[in-house]
């Protein structure tokens, strides 16, 4: 075929001018140096990675180099990087970006990451990769800087949105891309309308999603790769959870997605020690828990949904403050609360007030004092978070709060405070994602999320590359409550904590039913008796174990060991 050949004529114009003007002429030594520079910087081959030669301070791991090579050479620069948490997706993305920049294929780059990670990305690209990335803080940055890091929530709003659409980006990187699984959201639409010459989507959890979510993510990267919408859903059930059922689909997805697992990397990981700490309620706490539990029998005026009772039960296991907060909200939500309703709430509030101490907090204090090192406490409830901060302060223990809702600067600042000044970081669920805390190796799960993936994400904040010590996880479970049931009957049975994240993904996708949270709500909400609840829990557990066995069976078959 004939290829279009361009010739840069700017040199010649200046050359002729200098002949006319009789100079100025360059220095022969510099002229020779310029040619030597050229010989050192020309890249004679399409294949191979140049980036490592430029990065003497970085020793990429073999799997990271392999990913970079594969993306550039066989995926044409459009890929979903889906390594398990903590394998260094940022490094992989950095290598790919650097490679393209060295080769002169990429100049203008847009990097969209969670707000809490903006500074960290900019810093890592500068210090590890010598890429002059700039965190977007002023609107002129878009046009003046070539490599810009921003949060998607900022980028999608005007005036930024219009500026971004008017610019031609060579490479777009999106971190935590699993948040773009729903094609009806504004974020999805924003990214869809970006011109994506080269594009990297980073995510740790793509496979837990439903098949429709995979379709949306892949279509964002490479529309048509999985066919068009109608054809796709004709072939695959929309609600299906198992990508693995269909070998063809799996193969297609693997053409645009790379997923390394910890086990495959051959890296020695530090160990995880998991300790379940049973908590004994005080008399008043038990009283409150029972009172809340009884609501279930109390007609439909409290709340028709099982969810509120369940929420209150779980909150009662966390702190009286959490319960109080929810009760207040329930009261406020009713426009004209009936007398009975008000009385009921008042009754519960009295129970709340009767609670004088928090058994979990006492235990946490004891642990923190014994550990005598940095500790992260995770709780699901903001009220608990605030209480704990106050409580620890009474004993002279400094702590910093962390929430998803914090502004970017505040998140960075809190992380820094924790690293330098405070012993404890108290994070709510939303704080679990998008911040790296590998300088700490103790986690207290003050209460448990009901979605095992979220639990893994919490642990992944500290059990990642760069963690040098064994990671110690303390799980608090209050005896004879829903919490203990989930812990003992589910999480421990399926060996949740000893697992690495990838296994869990696989297992959950094998399950052809809804999310685990829904099942738990159903089990605890609808079981008439303790016995029934146990049986249902056992069913759920054996389903998961069955899926696990299937997976192992499948692996054996694949390696010919069956």
Partner 1 sequence: MQQQEIHKFLERYFHANGCEIIDKGPGYMTVQLTIDLDKELMNRPFYWHYLEKTGGIPNPMQLTLITNQQMAPAHIKGEVIHFGSPRLHQIFNSARNLAGYIRLYENHLLAEGKQVPLRPWLGMNVRVSYQCDRKRDVFKSIGLQLINGQMVENFHDRLLAMNLTPKIPDYSFTLSPLIMPGSGVFRVANFIKSEIEQEEHLWADEASRRWQKDLNLLEHFYEDAEEKGESYENEKAALQEQYEPKINISIINGGLFYLTDSAV
- Footprint of partner 1 on residues 11-50 (CB under 8 A)? 11-12, 14-16, 18-19, 23-47
Q: Footprint of partner 1 on residues 69-128 (CB under 8 A)?
A: 72-73, 76-78, 103-105
Buried b (16+ CB within 10 A) or exposed e, 66-83: bbbbebbeebebbbbbbb
Return the range that interacts with partner 1 (CB under 8 A); candidates 117-125, 190-198, 442-450, 503-511: 190-198
Instruction: Check binding of 224 to partner 1 (CB under 8 A).
Output: yes
- Give whichever of 78 and 210 is closer to partner 1, judged by the CB atom: 78
| Residue 144 touching partner 1 (CB under 8 A) | no
Nearer to partner 1, 102 or 430 (CB): 102
178 or 196: CB nearest partner 1: 196
Nearer of residues 230 and 529 to partner 1, judged by Cβ: 230
Concatenated DSSP letters for 164-202? HHHS--SEEEESSGGGG--TTSHHHHHHHTS--SEEEEE
| 161 counts as binding partner 1 under rule CB under 8 A | no
Window 390-409: residues binding partner 1 (CB under 8 A): none
Applying the rule CB under 8 A, the residues between 52 and 71 that interact with partner 1 are 53-56
Our CB check for partner 1 shows the closer of 43 and 555 to be: 43
CA angle 76, 77, 79 (to 5 degrees): 105
Told to check if 227 binds partner 1 by CB under 8 A, we report yes
- Return the H-helix or E-strand segment holding 31: helix 28-41
Question: Considering the rule CB under 8 A, would residue 317 count as an interface residue with partner 1?
Answer: no
Determine contact, residues 400/374, Cβ cutoff 8 Å. Answer: no
- Residue 488: which region, alpha, beta or left (left: phi > 0; alpha: psi -120 to 50)? alpha
d(CA 554, CA 542): 18
Q: Using CB under 8 A, which residues numbered 229 to 248 contact partner 1?
A: 229-231
Task: State the Cα–Cα distance between residues 83 and 92, nearest whole angstrom.
Answer: 10
Residue with tokens 């200098």: 18
Can you tell me which of 178, 196, 314, 415 binds partner 1, judged by CB under 8 A?
196
Q: Which of 226, 224, 172 is nearest to 195 (CA)?
A: 172
Smallest gap, in angstroms, from Cβ of residue 509 to partner 1? Answer: 25
Tell me how many residues contact partner 1 (CB under 8 A).
73
Q: Which segment (227-235, 315-323, 358-366, 376-384) binds partner 1 by CB under 8 A?
A: 227-235
Q: Which is nearer to partner 1, 130 or 140 (CB)?
A: 130
| Shortest spacing between CB 488 and partner 1, in angstroms | 49
Q: Is 7 in the site for partner 1 (CB under 8 A)?
A: yes
Task: List the one residue from 69, 197, 261, 296 that touches partner 1 (CB under 8 A).
Answer: 197
Chain length of the chain: 562
> Of 121, 198, 391, 524, which lies in the binding site for partner 1, with binding defined by CB under 8 A?
198
Write out the H or E segment, with its range, that includes residue 119: helix 118-129
* The only residue of 228, 338, 357, 369 in contact with partner 1, by rule CB under 8 A: 228
Interaxial angle between packed helices 359-371 and 382-394, expressed in degrees from 0 to 180 and rounded to the nearest 10: 60
Q: In this structure, how many other beta carbons lie within 10 angstroms of the beta carbon of residue 225?
A: 14
Contact set for partner 1, span 120-139 (CB under 8 A): 130, 132
Closest approach of partner 1 to the CB of residue 53, in Å: 6
- Cβ atoms of residues 128 and 79 within 8 Å: no
Q: By the 8 A CB rule, do 165 and 194 touch? A: yes
193 near partner 1 (CB under 8 A): yes
259: its two tokens: 């997923």
Q: What are phi and psi of 373, to 5 degrees?
A: -155, 180
Least distance to partner 1, CB of residue 147, Å? 13
Closest CB to partner 1 among 144 and 304? 144
């Amino acid at each position: 075929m004939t290829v279009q050949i361009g010739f840069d004529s700017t040199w010649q114009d200046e050359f002729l001018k200098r002949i006319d003007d009789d100079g100025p002429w360059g220095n022969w030594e510099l002229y020779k140096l310029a040619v030597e520079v050229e010989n050192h910087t020309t890249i004679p081959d399409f294949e191979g990675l140049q980036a490592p030669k430029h990065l003497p301070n970085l020793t990429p791991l073999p799997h990271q180099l392999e990913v970079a090579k594969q993306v550039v050479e066989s995926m044409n620069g459009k890929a979903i990087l889906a390594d398990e948490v903590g394998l260094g997706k940022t490094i992989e993305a950095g290598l790919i970006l650097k490679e393209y920049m060295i080769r002169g294929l990429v100049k203008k780059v847009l990097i969209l990451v969670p707000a809490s990670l903006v500074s960290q990305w900019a810093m890592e690209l500068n210090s590890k990769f010598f890429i002059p990335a700039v965190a977007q803080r002023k609107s002129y940055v878009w046009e003046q800087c070539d490599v810009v890091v921003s949060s998607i929530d900022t980028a999608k709003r005007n005036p930024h949105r219009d500026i971004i659409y008017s610019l031609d980006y060579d490479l777009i990187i999106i971190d935590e891309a699993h948040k773009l699984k729903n094609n009806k959201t504004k974020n999805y639409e924003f990214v869809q309308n970006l011109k994506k010459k080269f594009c990297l989507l980073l995510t740790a959890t793509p496979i837990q999603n439903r098949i429709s979510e995979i379709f949306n993510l892949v279509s964002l990267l490479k529309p048509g790769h999985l066919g068009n919408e109608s054809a796709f859903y004709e072939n695959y059930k929309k609600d299906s959870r198992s990508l693995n059922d269909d070998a063809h689909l799996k193969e297609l997805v693997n053409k645009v997605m790379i997923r390394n697992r910890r086990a495959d990397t051959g890296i020695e990981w530090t160990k995880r020690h998991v300790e379940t700490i049973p908590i004994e309620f005080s008399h008043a706490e038990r009283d409150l828990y029972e009172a809340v539990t009884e609501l279930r029998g109390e007609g439909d005026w409290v709340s028709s949904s099982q969810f509120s009772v369940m929420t209150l039960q779980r909150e009662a296991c966390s702190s009286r403050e959490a319960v109080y907060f929810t009760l207040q909200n329930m009261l406020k939500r009713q426009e004209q609360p009936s007398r009975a309703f008000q009385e009921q709430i008042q009754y519960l509030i009295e129970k709340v007030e009767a609670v004088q101490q928090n058994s979990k907090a006492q235990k946490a204090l004891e642990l923190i004092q014994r550990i005598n090192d940095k500790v992260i406490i995770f709780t699901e409830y903001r009220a608990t978070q605030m209480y704990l901060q106050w409580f620890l302060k009474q004993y002279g223990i400094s702590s910093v709060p962390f929430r998803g809702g914090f502004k970017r600067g505040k998140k960075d600042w809190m992380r820094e405070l924790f690293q330098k000044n405070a012993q404890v970081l108290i994070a709510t669920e939303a704080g679990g994602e998008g911040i790296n805390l590998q300088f700490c190796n103790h986690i207290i799960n003050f209460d448990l999320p009901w979605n095992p993936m979220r639990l893994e994400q919490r642990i992944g904040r500290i059990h990642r590359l760069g963690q040098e010590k064994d990671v110690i996880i303390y799980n608090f479970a209050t005896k004879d409550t829903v919490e203990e049931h989930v812990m003992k009957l589910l999480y421990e049975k399926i060996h949740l904590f000893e697992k690495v994240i990838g296994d869990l993904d696989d297992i959950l996708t094998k399950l052809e039913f809804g999310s685990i949270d829904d099942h738990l709500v159903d089990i605890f909400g609808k079981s008439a008796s303790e016995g029934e609840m146990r049986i249902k829990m056992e069913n759920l557990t054996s389903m998961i174990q069955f899926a696990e066995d299937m997976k192992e069976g499948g692996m054996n078959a694949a390696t010919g060991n069956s």
